[in-house]
Chain A
Amino acid sequence: DAGVIQSPRHEVTEMGQEVTLRCKPISGHNSLFWYRQTMMRGLELLIYFNNNVPIDDSGMPEDRFSAKMPNASFSTLKIQPSEPRDSAVYFCASSLDRYSPLHFGNGTRLTVT
């Protein structure tokens, strides 16, 4: 299995632009998570889907952030408009079920100038 696949690996954009991060979870996994890693706050949970349905989005910083999971094999995290403080590494992870560990992708490093 290829594992969790995230794209792009790196994204550099200017303030005000729309950014879309993509994730393909491991086939058969029922849960998908988006995390953000920063030096100050470590790994923050942004949103969590179970069977394609958002369960907890309380970690989404503000209305500029949105996430979708149109089917079991694809999810997006969108930031519109982006700001310099959004610069971070964004990780997607999936798990088989609630009793299993998370499997992480290699992350997308976002830089907003």
Chain B
Amino acid sequence: DQQVKQNSPSLSVQEGRISILNCDYTNSMFDYFLWYKKYPAEGPTFLISISSIKDKNEDGRFTVFLNKSAKHLSLHIVPSQPGDSAVYFCAASARNNNNDMRFGAGTRLTVKP
């Protein structure tokens, strides 16, 4: 059962514009949310995270927003750069439970020059 869902398999954005990647979850026990970035032939690498006690976390060009009532989070990248082209995975875990981390299916972002 898919507890973390990324409904957009792909997204294409022009360089310099904003990229918005979306993620929904179903398990109300999740209290820790992360975004990972994956290039071909490499493992996913951690990008940014947010705890359920916050609704926003910002790190440079990357901002993650959390809407607990809607069980929705999003990753904003602004301005987008061609090097941001990769597959982005949303992940969630219940740290006060057994902490297994669940991932969405991924969204392939293409930033065009």
Contacts and interface: CB of A to CB of B under 8 A. Distances in A.
B43 A98 contact: no
Contacts, number: 60
A56 B44 contact: no
B23 to A, nearest CB: 12
Given A43-B44, A101-B34, A106-B41, A55 B103 contact: no
A77 interface: no
Interface stretch (B14-22, B66-74, B92-100): B92-100
A42 B89 contact: yes
A56 B41 contact: no
B80 interface: no
A43 B100 contact: no
Tell me the dominant secondary structure on chain A's binding face.
strand
B interface bracket (residues with beta carbon within 8 Å of A): 20 to 34
A103 to B, nearest CB: 7
A43 B45 contact: no
A79 B35 CA distance: 30
A35 B42 CA distance: 14
Nearest to A42: B105
B43 A93 contact: yes
A31 interface: yes
B46 A42 contact: no
